[in-house]
Structure 1
Amino acid sequence: MPTLNKIRSALAGAKGRGSRTPAAPPPPDLRRFRAALTTFFALDGFIFAGWVVRIPAVKEQTGASASALGLALLGVSAGAVATMMLTGRLCARFGNQPVVLASGFLLPLSVALPPLTHSALALGLVLLVFGAAYGGMSVALNSAAVDLIAALRRPVMPGFHAAFSLGGMLGAGLGGLLAGHLSPTRHLLLLTLAGLAVAALAARPLLRYDLRPAPRTGHREGEAVPTGRARQLVAVLGLIALCTAYGEGALADWSALHLTDDLGASAGVAAAGYSVFAGAMTIGRLSGTTLVERLGPGRVLIAGGALGCAGMLLGSLAPSVWLALAGFVLTGLGLANVFPIAIGRAGDLAGPGGVAAASTFGYGGILLGPVAIGFLADWFSLTTAMLTVAVLAAFASLTAWASRHAVLPEKG
């Protein structure tokens, strides 16, 4: 079974012939591994979005009030956060690919459980299982991606997150079409069967290569980072990820309400608020690898935070719906690659444990964003509350700039 060190040596030899000589293409099996990993990223987004679009139907089935449903839905985030650090240790002990595969089968199995419940308490308990599978999948996937990036010597992390976004868009679209024809139980059971089939097909190429992590080095070739220092840098990267995730969570839950209540948009137009944001993030991530290779991760991260800040200033303060939507587009383009870069660099510094720690910070932002926006909207106004997304995006940009020499390499 080929190992990461052999792959790296072959690619390094190709690069060593001259700085202008293009690197040799990766071996065919490694390309298949990358395709399999991309498939699992897309499956992750597809399964999660398929569940999200059936939340209203499951709410009706369980008879839960809005507040009870909110508490039950916390099970997803609680399960994910509780599992992430454990997943990092499992990846370090058993390898990333076996954990990806285990999570890849558990996630579609667990999505069939929510429509089988008939109370908010039971729903919350099964969502803990679903969240645990989802959190484990996220950490294992990003850890495997970090090792593949080391083998390819290309910053392809944004492409994997683009696959997640595309999977989510496909899952939401298909779920919307099926919602009028199938019950939640049948829909999510079909999602389970499709997910298991995809995971089974992608299993063999995923396990084909033994991508054992290389020794973690600093941001310069051969410069070791002490464990304590690495933890500090991972914490900085996790804080940057949190700022980005805060914006994603806030826009997912509050963008439509901002457009309707503050700008008088119709329900149909307001629904486009998060859609244009998510679409812009997908486009930004598809171009992310090229941007990182040309500009370096530090510049992309700093500029992305600044663009996200400018976009949310426009989205929050715009006097018309269409200018607000334009602001959401700019925000999506700006924030698109901040989270992938932060998670990837955390993995480079500290392996699966770094990915787990930074991901936990990020999910903290997703939890914090919608709740903070709600309280601030009650105390001040929704417009003022939405401005916190711009403030945190600016903070992420400034943090990246201040720590660029310690945390981020100059070149991708």
Structure 2
Amino acid sequence: MTPSGWTFGVLIVFTMFGFGFGNWLARIPAVRDHLGASTLQMSIIGLVLATGSVIGLVIAGRTVTWLGPRRTIYYGALGQALFMPLGATLLWFGFAAPGMLALAVFGFFFSTSDVAMNVSGAAAERALGKPRMPLLHGGYSLGGVSAMGVGALAETFKVPVPIHLGIVFAVIVVGILFAIQRIPRVEPAAPAGEPLVVTTNTGPIQLLATPAVEAVKQRPASYNPWRDPRIIVIGLLAMSMGLTEGTATDWLPLALADHRGFSNPAAALALGVFFVAMLSTRAAGSWLLGRFGRVWILRASAVVAGSSIVLLNVVPFPWASYVFAALWGIGSALGFPIGVSAAADDPEKAVRGVATVSAITYAAFLVGPMAIGFLGEHFGLLRAFLPIAVFLIFVIFAAGAAREPGRKAGSGATG
């Protein structure tokens, strides 16, 4: 097994977890209709799930350090496969309180697994010596988009939500069992100066004796990432870009329907354009980062995303909205993957660094939609998007915190 095989295994994990959560999102309207729930009641269900996720993120650094990324992914997949179908079933049959509790536990397992797969992906990226986090996050997005198609088929054939999700998560467990055969268990520290050997179920991987690998051999010292200014700035960078992505996902179709006169299918198509643009950019992200570096890409992404949001407010033509949706997707695609890679630059501190950056970013996903909705209620959704530009201006000025180790300030494209 090679580092590329390790990367492939983590890619499957990203795709499977995106596919699982996406299927839940695709069936939320069916759950609402079956229960006759109000928008507020469905928001409470979502908030409970998000609360479980935040709890998982807060302690994910210690959890992944204790179990290791591979075992955390495995147990996380089993927990998701148990508690998502259980929660959906309880809700489906009217047991609201225990159903929401099960969804909160699902959220805990989901967010913990999310940190573990990002830590393993960042380690595989270091072992490979090439940027791969954009590709891995592209796998997550692909899983989510694929889930929308599966959810639409389930709606068409009127498959009950508990049966649908039970089948989906059974498939996910099979996929994860296949994937973790390629994810290594890091062995005890090797003697100084010798290559580090990590073991997978299909054989050992010997990593080159680089400074990053040498750091892996050492046990993590006492370290609090919440007191590390660089990690906090990287977390705020990732949060700003995550807020930009999440705003489009949550509100773009409704904004176009309300303020540009789009029909529901036409507004949904604009969101599809956003997702395709984001997926395409993540697919090209490894090459872009290798050529231009994180700092240049972050700044360019912020300019592209911010310009698209401003122009969406200014230019009223329907065709232009599709163009700006595509630019918004391009600008949003690489921020969070870059943040994860930057948080994992020091292998000795990678687990807790990634957990902290993830916690800060997901806080934006939790609070951001509510804040945009509040502003939209008073000023209209399109205008409610404009404050995001402030966060993107911060990205332009603070992007240097994410610079790759050894890369000189001011270095741009490489030949």
**In the alignment, is residue 391 of structure 1 matched against residue 368 of structure 2?**
no
Return closer, same or farther for 1:125/1:294 CA change in 2, 3 Å cut-off.
same
Give distance in 1, aligned partners of 2:121 and 2:264: 39
Give distance in 2, aligned partners of 1:86 and 1:386: 32
Matches within 5 A, 1:58-77: 58-77=31-50
Structure 1 range deviating more: 45-54 or 373-382: 373-382
Q: Identify the residue that residue 80 of structure 1 maps to in structure 2.
A: 53
> Equivalent residue of 1:352, what SS?
helix
**In the alignment, is residue 361 of structure 1 matched against residue 338 of structure 2?**
no
1:218-242 per-residue CA deviation (whole Å, 9 max, x = no partner) reads xxxxxxxx97797111100110111
Identify the match of residue 254 of structure 1 among 238, 245, 251: 251
Identify the match of residue 302 of structure 2 among 300, 305, 314: 305
Give distance in 1, aligned partners of 2:179 and 2:345: 25
**In the alignment, is residue 121 of structure 1 matched against residue 97 of structure 2?**
yes
1:343-375 per-residue CA deviation (whole Å, 9 max, x = no partner) reads 111122431111110001111111122111111
Question: For the Cα contact (< 8 Å) 2:4–2:128, is it kept in 1?
Answer: no
For 2:171, give the aligned amino acid: A
1:38-66 per-residue CA deviation (whole Å, 9 max, x = no partner) reads 10000011001111011111123333221
Q: Identify the residue that residue 182 of structure 2 maps to in structure 1.
A: 205
1:85-114 per-residue CA deviation (whole Å, 9 max, x = no partner) reads 322112222321111121122223322123
Return closer, same or farther for 1:132/1:229 CA change in 2, 3 Å cut-off.
closer
Question: For the Cα contact (< 8 Å) 1:75–1:128, is it kept in 2?
Answer: yes
Give distance in 2, aligned partners of 1:61 and 1:215: 56
**In the alignment, is residue 36 of structure 1 matched against residue 33 of structure 2?**
no
> Equivalent residue of 2:37, what SS?
coil
Give distance in 1, aligned partners of 2:155 and 2:251: 23
Give distance in 2, aligned partners of 1:58 and 1:166: 24
**In the alignment, is residue 150 of structure 1 matched against residue 126 of structure 2?**
yes
**In the alignment, is residue 111 of structure 1 matched against residue 96 of structure 2?**
no
Give distance in 2, aligned partners of 1:367 and 1:64: 21
Question: For the Cα contact (< 8 Å) 1:280–1:329, is it kept in 2?
Answer: yes
Matches within 5 A, 1:325-336: 325-336=322-333
For 1:169, give the aligned amino acid: V
Give distance in 1, aligned partners of 2:406 and 2:272: 31
Instruction: Give the Å deviation of 1:208.
Output: 6.3
Identify the match of residue 275 of structure 2 among 252, 258, 278: 278
Q: Identify the residue that residue 220 of structure 1 maps to in structure 2.
A: none
Instruction: Give the Å deviation of 1:121.
Output: 3.2
Question: For the Cα contact (< 8 Å) 1:36–1:206, is it kept in 2?
Answer: yes
> Equivalent residue of 1:112, what SS?
helix
Question: For the Cα contact (< 8 Å) 2:340–2:354, is it kept in 1?
Answer: yes
For 2:114, give the aligned amino acid: S
Give distance in 1, aligned partners of 2:145 and 2:340: 22
Identity rate, percent: 28
Give distance in 2, aligned partners of 1:253 and 1:228: 30
Give distance in 2, aligned partners of 1:242 and 1:39: 25
Give the RMSD, CA atoms, in angstroms: 2.5
> Equivalent residue of 2:386, what SS?
helix
Q: TM-score, normalised by structure 1?
A: 0.85
Matches within 5 A, 1:149-188: 149-181=125-157, 182-188=159-165
Give distance in 2, aligned partners of 1:238 and 1:408: 21
Question: For the Cα contact (< 8 Å) 2:237–2:399, is it kept in 1?
Answer: yes
Instruction: Give the Å deviation of 1:388.
Output: 2.1
Give distance in 2, aligned partners of 1:29 and 1:130: 32
1:114-135 per-residue CA deviation (whole Å, 9 max, x = no partner) reads 3212254344222201211210
> Equivalent residue of 2:340, what SS?
helix
For structure 2, which runs of at least 5 residues remain unmatched after alignment? 188-197, 200-211, 217-222
Q: Identify the residue that residue 376 of structure 2 maps to in structure 1.
A: 377
Structure 1 range deviating more: 386-395 or 236-245: 386-395
Instruction: Give the Å deviation of 1:205.
Output: 2.0
**In the alignment, is residue 400 of structure 1 matched against residue 377 of structure 2?**
no
Return closer, same or farther for 1:283/1:200 CA change in 2, 3 Å cut-off.
same
Question: For the Cα contact (< 8 Å) 1:308–1:330, is it kept in 2?
Answer: yes
Return closer, same or farther for 1:53/1:128 CA change in 2, 3 Å cut-off.
same
**In the alignment, is residue 346 of structure 1 matched against residue 323 of structure 2?**
no
Give distance in 2, aligned partners of 1:381 and 1:204: 50
Instruction: Give the Å deviation of 1:318.
Output: 2.4
Return closer, same or farther for 1:65/1:229 CA change in 2, 3 Å cut-off.
closer
Give distance in 2, aligned partners of 1:132 and 1:198: 20
Return closer, same or farther for 1:375/1:238 CA change in 2, 3 Å cut-off.
same
Return closer, same or farther for 1:95/1:241 CA change in 2, 3 Å cut-off.
same
Structure 1 range deviating more: 333-342 or 318-327: 318-327
Give distance in 2, aligned partners of 1:253 and 1:199: 28
Give distance in 2, aligned partners of 1:195 and 1:298: 35
Structure 1 range deviating more: 336-345 or 87-96: 87-96
Give distance in 2, aligned partners of 1:371 and 1:78: 14
Identify the match of residue 21 of structure 2 among 36, 40, 48: 48
Question: For the Cα contact (< 8 Å) 1:243–1:396, is it kept in 2?
Answer: yes
For structure 1, which runs of at least 5 residues remain unmatched after alignment? 1-27, 218-225
Instruction: Give the Å deviation of 1:407.
Output: 8.4
**In the alignment, is residue 289 of structure 1 matched against residue 289 of structure 2?**
no
1:308-341 per-residue CA deviation (whole Å, 9 max, x = no partner) reads 1112112233202221221111111112111100
Q: TM-score, normalised by structure 2?
A: 0.84
**In the alignment, is residue 315 of structure 1 matched against residue 312 of structure 2?**
yes
Question: For the Cα contact (< 8 Å) 2:281–2:334, is it kept in 1?
Answer: yes
